Structure 1
């Protein structure tokens, strides 16, 4: 990146000049990067000797181009501290100014020609430093005339050679290397203990809580909050006011105000915020001899009556909307032509013009002093900010008054600061996620979609409007669902299902859709439900025969063919295409044969349907899959053998030393008596 140059650092006098050593002629481009916060300043000038013929400077943050005969300005703010690329292209007398390829100026000026030994001046007019908006303050970088650079400071990098030619003959005066900011905090601009931080050629102040503004010059009166609990502080130029709401319970102890003898402004309006359910009440009244003002609620509507000035007839205004609904309302009553001695008055409720008086009356200046202004007589509800002629009527005494002009309360302080009716929403009366709104001693539930009722207790029957045209309606919360009759579909069962989509009409029969059914309109020579029979019926052998070995059978609707495998059609004339089901896998080609198919497989596949991959080895049988069954079988055999041995041994012990004739007879064994009982020798000698 080429080295920037800073002009007018710390408001010093800076300038630069270069001598042109080539001859750009009448077609040339001047380009540069610029960064500045100064709205006016001299940028560049071309001169032939001491005779300038082109000057470029900033005027009110816009680039201005001046030739000997013409002046033209661009249309963008450049004094914003952002680094911008400017290009000014001259083509004979036509000039185009662009900023980052966005065209800002495209205009015809007087023709120019740059010659050898002409001089380029930068930063300050060489003759009159105040010319062209005064010296330029900011940074310039990579200034070029065509592709020749006006180099302020060369890049000092090892083995680096600039790709651009440069004008070497130059003069620099107080031009600082790199883009350097002023020490903007040197003069300690931040007041009231603010901390200064330098930004580029500017500063920022971090102010204490009680101050604000660019230099912390503005006192924030509401920091810390000087107002009493239940009120909020409003900053004003030079001071503050404490605003609050007040609750009145319909007693006969109104609040009385009077002017402080310092009010000099014309009192041309009354404004008030209030919330009530009263049908009739006095909001404000006052009289001074023949002059009087009366502002009341009557039959839930606002009424205003004024006698003032030389008017004989009373000026009256009445609202045409119900204001006794427990909601906050804002009303402004003001003169239409406040600078006239007598004017019509207008009533504005909640921002909308409500009514204008047909007659005229004077202002409210009779309230400036020595007049009791009575507020809230027999009124139940809440009052907010009240002003007469823009002067606030406070509910409690304020330690500091911003303005000298005041209405002073002469009765005892208001005890209920804030708007407090009966706590009607604390019990959460609204069901089913309804929202409770406090309307002063009464509530109103705002139900979510699908519910209704005073407490949102009823599910709205969305089926009441019979939305399901051909079906039964089931009510849902905030919706419904239709169970359609057979043959219908759609959100409201409004669409007849097209049963002809998959019809079975044959022999060019036309399908006609019905309700959950269809019928076939047959051509002249066919009949039957699906137009499958000839009409009139034909018999086998006469004019009808079955092809491809099909068996012809006569029936009540005429001849019918039972086809051999592989054929179909009325006469078995069509061969069944076995390839319609795409049986061949892995890109195999299907060849249709009679009642079968054959797959021609690719080189890597085999099988009846090319389902076998030749290159894929069969999965080896895991050792575990063999070992586990063998081991389990061996263990089972050992267990069986052990059981057999145990049972045999037990049985043998039970029969040992006993005689069992049946066993001897079956086995044909002979009992050797001499082995059982030996006869004494003397007994054998007979």
Structure 2
């Protein structure tokens, strides 16, 4: 039986366990092992991701003593509880002219231009290749990034050639007729006697002799060689391309998923204080499913005597009873059992309002609430008021909702935040070629000469002032008039 654990001496009846740390050890039946460094019960590891602490906004990675949330780009926080918004043009999360696109689940992805990379297009491509030490371009050549962080071009000084400007004017040039390119690379002659190898995917180097999946160098991350065993998933560190962690399949653990969880049955009834407040358990003989026949806690305690062996776990208080050989344990909050060895699962025994609008995760001696979006507080019972940030504009009224808000816009405005002025001129309300001027919740018309009215619908009566003389008849026109002087004996513009 091979486990990653602590190596312990055999616990004799008159002494406590002596602990010395070790990376791994072979366990011998009837030795003692520590609770927190091996499996117990049916051998299954605790699944810290079982309650979906990432709230559906990321990938949960089950660690040995905790969980880790790898959030989607839209969300952040230990539990991916913070919504940073989608593809709102006013707060475009994609930097450096990156294009933001939403998927069906509401998450977004940033599509970067050729000179940037990263989740939010925040990293210039040149940071990974052209700024590496030593630089990829030799002989004073200038490095220029291309379509991705693993592609670049060297602009050589006069007289130098080659992909990295490594060919000097005095070097012998190999012609493509010699077929120098390896691993399926295609040789292209530039016409000046220099051969260049266009390499197949996964290979690099002047002659395509470097396997990028197994070699180190600029643009090659540690996940390229996948150090995770037993079908473990390699996850690169966001801060360093050379650091990785392994997300192991169920039944495996270790930094590289190299250790198999053992189905050892370690019963709480055989727990023994290791001397540092931790529990030790006996390892049963092969093919034995219980610890019957092995040393038990009671036999150890009876030989050690009362509180001298510190039998109470988890900082429980030990009281020696009459006679000196018996004792009782007063447990700290969150623990129960004769020796305070049992953790109370507040998430199961508590009332429904333990975490109200959140997810309850039991911890050793306590519990923790992970609130759903829109709620806060130790018990997730406080509705977070999204209106406190005054998100509504132009005199709108904000109404708080669960994990959101609604803006009731003032007349003349629209949009989620009432930031858009409604264009009342869009329907062309002004008549006879009048000019429409948009205002807040209304409009005005600038009428051509001769017209009046709110919509410029009325022709001004130019005959009202009686411009025609000597009995001439006035005819109203648009911004004008004419005088009919027939049968008056007069003529002229006004029959004067």
TM-score, structure 2 length as denominator?
0.31
TM-score, structure 1 length as denominator?
0.24
Bigger radius of gyration, 1 or 2? 1
Which structure shows the bigger proportion of residues in strand conformation? 1
